[in-house]
Structure 1
Amino acid sequence: MHTNNKISSLGIARNLACTLAVAISAYTIPVVATAQTSASSAAKMEMGANASGDASMKMRKSMDDMHEKMGQMKMTGDVDHDFVMMMRSHHQAAIDMAQVEVDTGKDAAMINAAKKIIAAQKKEIAQFDAWMKKHPMK
């Protein structure tokens, strides 16, 4: 009787081990497949984020360049000339940033706004240039 209990216990243990193995494989196969799909999706999202990140970096660079140029400008003491020089750099940075939006943006309303900004800023830069031509520094 004692031996039959061992055999019976061994059979139950085997059945339990098989059931557990089936349960684990039923769980892990979809998890592995999901992980692979998630990794693929994550890679695609990262590629998209990198493209967006590159565009954002271009915008940041235009701002940094503007700040550097404006920081290096020597103030003349003539507020009109100083204003025109500073605003010209400021407007050029706006054009540069807006062009990144036109080139890489996804939202039609923002792309349209960027196009309007480019046109307006170019017009104002032309006005600044014309003013500077009429009012050269002495």
Structure 2
Amino acid sequence: MKTFTSLSLCAAAAAASLAFSATARAQSTMAYPEKCRSHSMDMSKTDMSSGGTQMGEMTDYRKASMDGMKDMNMNMMQGMMKKDADVSFVCGMIAHHMGAISMSEVELKYGDNEEAKQMAQKIIEAQKKEIEEMSKWVDKEAK
């Protein structure tokens, strides 16, 4: 029984690792649409600090979360600068969904609770589908 439990745990760990690797690869290929970028916005003057906390003082999962939040905030701000309200909304939502995927990937990598990990996986799957739909809309509608 002990061997069976050990094998089950190893198989579960391997499956989780493969699932994370697949989502990490998919996320890395999922780029923020170029039509959502606001090239007139000078992002070098935007303070995206970590609220006074030094990155060196953070745990690995906090660093990973902060990196994802920085990317999301940067993209959301660019998307929201679009002159067309509809394009602005959709671009902002794409960035928001990408942030949700990033947070979920951090949960899959660092989390311990199986129920939370299942929620994270569902979020990744749903948000990717919606990002694809919204990106197609932006490609068609944004000038």
Aligned equivalents of 1:114, 1:100: Cα separation in 2: 9
Q: Secondary structure at the match of 1:123?
A: helix
Tell me the equivalent position of 1:32: none
Segments of 5+ residues of structure 2 without an aligned counterpart are: 1-57
| Structure 1 vs Structure 2 CA RMSD | 2.0
Map 1:73-112 to 2 at 5 A: 73=79, 75-112=81-118
Supply the AA of the counterpart residue of 2:136.
A
Q: TM-score, normalised by structure 1?
A: 0.57
Residue 60 (structure 2) aligns with? 54
Supply the AA of the counterpart residue of 1:102: L
Gap regions ≥5 residues in structure 1? 1-51
Structure showing greater Rg: 1
User: Taking every aligned residue pair, what percent have the same amino acid on both sides?
Assistant: 37
Amino acid at match of 1:86: G
Q: Where does residue 142 of structure 2 map in the other structure?
A: 136
Point out the structure with the larger helix share: 1
* TM-score, scaled relative to structure 2: 0.55
Q: Which structure has more RCO (C-alpha within 8 Å, separation ≥ 6)? A: 2
Shift of 1:74: 6.2
Aligned partners of 1:69 and 1:130: how far apart in 2?
Answer: 17
